Amino acid sequence: MSDKTLVSAHFHANLGLYWLLSGGLVFCLSVVGIPLLLLWFPLGLLATKRYINNMSAELTEQKLIVRKGLFTRTENTVPLDKITDMALIQGPIMRMFSIHKLTVETAGQSGAGALINLTGVINVVDFRAQVLAQKTQLTERKDHTSARSNTDALILDNLQQMNATLLRIEQSLTAKQSN
């Protein structure tokens, strides 16, 4: 069965600038880092653009797929029914750039922290709502299917009991006719 893409996330144009500024602030806090700022901004600008171009997040009918990475590319596929929490985080520098970080936690994940971190998704509140709505729809569909199979099992059990009762009645009538 093909899993159709419902929504694709797009990322803020100023996400790279946010990362550069955050890294620059860390360099400024150390004496050794201040000279490295001369290399950080030109190389960082190139690297962040390439990294952002390699980022993608897709919501399909049954899963959330996130791809990212510059040197080591990773693809995380999370079944929607395993998602337990989707948090929005926004620090002070993020507020300056109108950027949020979306974290996705799942049932059974190993280690502390979120399984997936997505920073800089455009309309992140809508994207999160669409993921949660699709998760709810998928859960309701599975619950309906499971309720139907439970009903089918109950009907089958009742039919078997009725059949057994009819056989006992038939045996009883046959025994009375013989006497």
Domain hosting 23: range is 5-178
Q: How many domains does the chain have?
A: 1
Q: What CATH number did the domain enclosing 121 receive?
A: 2.30.29.30
Higher pLDDT, 170 or 119: 119
Report CA-CA distances (Å) from 86 to 64, 76, 155: 12, 15, 40
Q: Collect all residues with Cβ–Cβ distance below 8 Å to 25 and sequence separation of at least 6.
A: 93
Q: Which residue intervals of 9-123 are DSSP H helices?
A: 15-28, 33-54, 92-97
Amino acid 134: pLDDT: 92
pLDDT digits (tens, 9 = 90+) for 21-59: 888 888 888 878 888 888 888 888 888 999 999 999 999
